[in-house]
Amino acid sequence: MTALTLSTAGAATLRADALVVGVAKAAGPKGGLVVAPGAEAVDKAFDGKLAAVLATLGASGAEGEVTKAVSPAGLKAPFVLAVGLGSAPADDEAYASEVLRTAAGNAARALHGIKKAAFALPIEAAEDIEAIGEGALLGAYAFTAYQDRGADAKGPLAEVALLGAKPRDKAHKAAAERSIALAEEMNRARDLINTPPNDLTPEAFAAVVSAAGKEHGLKVQVLDEKALEKGGFGGILGVGVGSENPPRLVKISYTHAKNAKHLAFVGKGITYDSGGISLKPAGHNETMKCDMSGAAAVFAAVVAAARLGIEVNVTGWLALAENMPSGSATRPGDVLRMYSGKTVEVLNTDAEGRLVLADALWKASEEKPDAIVDVATLTGAMVLALGDHTFGIMANDDAFRTAIHEIAEESGEQSWPMPLPANLRKTMDSPTADLANMGVRMGGGLVAGLFLKEFVGEGITWAHLDIAGPAFNEGAPHGYTPKGGTGSSVRTLLRLAERTASGDLG
């Protein structure tokens, strides 16, 4: 894991292997390139001509742009890396947190193989330290566990020194600590998502959670297949029955010393989704190791909340199963009796995530938390509706849905509120069972949300995050987002816990 430090050293005097500065497009009709605050000493070493040098090298200040320049004699670092920040803000405004986070991520990715980099980006408040720290630590992520890289292989950027920060300032120190805890747990989630399914079975996932529980003093309870059968968890068992790797329901609990409010996070954890008997076609199953991204996010958020000592009680429920076809697998047309007692006719075994979540939601509801949020790579319909970078939010309370949307945007995660139209509920009516696991195809993401709503305890505020789009990046890396598992929704869940602790959510 990349180390993060706060440094009071000057940009010109700090010994580092690279020096990161920000550049932007100047406001006004003339435009041009300007050096962002934080890099004054670097500009001075270039005799005030840093912007001109970078412009000559092709820099425009556009977001995502990275330009390298050899350092002059006045700097200890051998080269300067300029990252684009987009349009420069007005004189009375600061750079947005997401701009700084993305720029730091771009820089960290470009500095792969470097031991130490000094970041001289704009810092006006503790929030800027947090954003830059997050972006750098997330951007430096690399998953190499299964690669024979040899002794000479280059690793991720090893150390980030943030210049302009104050190590003894409580707010600055807290911001750095938060960025470290969040990034480390997000990167743990990414590791889990990227791990091949032959190694990350439900049992193996549960073991990782148990180990983390011991490390951070969290209570972990694992229900194996025998306990699930005894307890009547028909949804989880119905999905996992076709696999040689039996399912698990994992509970991980963080309890604050004070009598705090209680949040329950529920995560879909299908460690591999073949579709079951309703088998996915070729081209749609190669990345299905990522179908446990919701459980990974919930796990990461609970551990991060514990590491930061947030004054809130958080319980994570991880519904873990492998969805495979076999002679023992659930068939289309089978009826499952869920943990809640309701019966569900399974019309499509590839709509399995809602089945495991239903049992976990009802179990979570028994503890009467103040709110429940479930997270799942649930439907392709949501990807079609919102694309690859945005997750959908559904809820049984409009104010709660709005609050989560605002929290997500504040955290740098793209999201969009979605409705739960009552007329779509009828399309899940079954002549055989209480309801079916499928409804009409159009609006499939909303139908899935309505299905889950059926398994939330009465009077409990609930939201559903469908992260099917942003959970796994099949394209090129960008900003602080790598190829593969992203850790989508972890930041939103953690910020929700913080806002709940502060009383902002009632």
Closest CA to 500 of 366, 400, 358: 400
The span from the CA of 137 to the CA of 117, in Å, is: 12
Cα→Cα distances 11→40, 75, 161, 203, Å: 9, 8, 10, 49
* Sign of the alpha-carbon torsion through 374, 380, 382, 387: positive
Global pTM value: 0.97
Give the pLDDT score at 506: 63
Catalytic residue (one of 280, 425, 453, 483): 280
What does the pLDDT look like over 239-289, one tens digit per residue? 999 999 999 999 999 999 887 799 999 999 999 999 999 999 988 899 999
Rounded to a whole number, what is the largest CA-CA distance in the chain? 80
Give the pLDDT score at 91: 83
CA 312 to centroid of chain Cα atoms: 20
Give the bridge partners for 34, in sequence order: 24
Q: Which two tokens stand for residue 241?
A: 């029955």
Identity (one letter) of the amino acid at 273?
D
Mean pLDDT by 10 residues, the chain (506 residues): 93 95 88 94 96 97 96 95 96 94 98 97 97 98 89 88 95 98 98 98 98 98 98 98 98 91 98 97 93 98 98 98 98 98 98 98 98 98 97 98 98 98 98 98 97 98 98 97 98 98 83
Give the pLDDT score at 437: 98
In terms of Cβ atoms closer than 10 Å to its own Cβ (0-12, 13-18, 19+), residue 357 is buried
CA atoms within 13 A on the CB side of 112: 16
Residues 310 and 498: beta-carbon distance below 8 Å: yes
* Sign of the alpha-carbon torsion through 253, 290, 401, 430: negative
Secondary structure in 3-state letters for 28-94:
CCCCCEEECCCCHHHHHHCCCCHHHHHHHCCCCCCCCCEEEEECCCCCCCCEEEEEEEEECCCCCCC
List CB contacts of 102: < 8 A, sequence separation 6 or more. 63, 64, 135, 479, 480
In residues, how long is the chain? 506
Q: Where are the alpha helices (DSSP H) in 254-373?
A: 293-308, 353-365
Identity (one letter) of the amino acid at 59?
A
In terms of Cβ atoms closer than 10 Å to its own Cβ (0-12, 13-18, 19+), residue 87 is middle
User: Is there a catalytic annotation at residue 116?
Assistant: no
What does the pLDDT look like over 305-331, one tens digit per residue? 999 999 999 999 999 999 999 999 999
Q: Which two tokens stand for residue 500?
A: 């709940």
Give the pLDDT score at 268: 98
The span from the CA of 121 to the CA of 350, in Å, is: 47
Residues 243 and 324: beta-carbon distance below 8 Å: yes
- Phi, psi (degrees; rounded to nearest 5) at 153: -65, 140
User: Is there a catalytic annotation at residue 354?
Assistant: yes
Residues 359 and 235: beta-carbon distance below 8 Å: yes
Q: Which helix (H) or strand (E) holds 418?
A: none
| pLDDT averaged over every residue in the chain | 96
CA 300 to centroid of chain Cα atoms: 8
Catalytic residue (one of 354, 401, 491, 499): 354
Cα→Cα distances 373→101, 148, 231, 339, 493, Å: 26, 40, 23, 19, 8
Residues 262 and 367: beta-carbon distance below 8 Å: yes
* Sign of the alpha-carbon torsion through 370, 254, 211, 181: positive
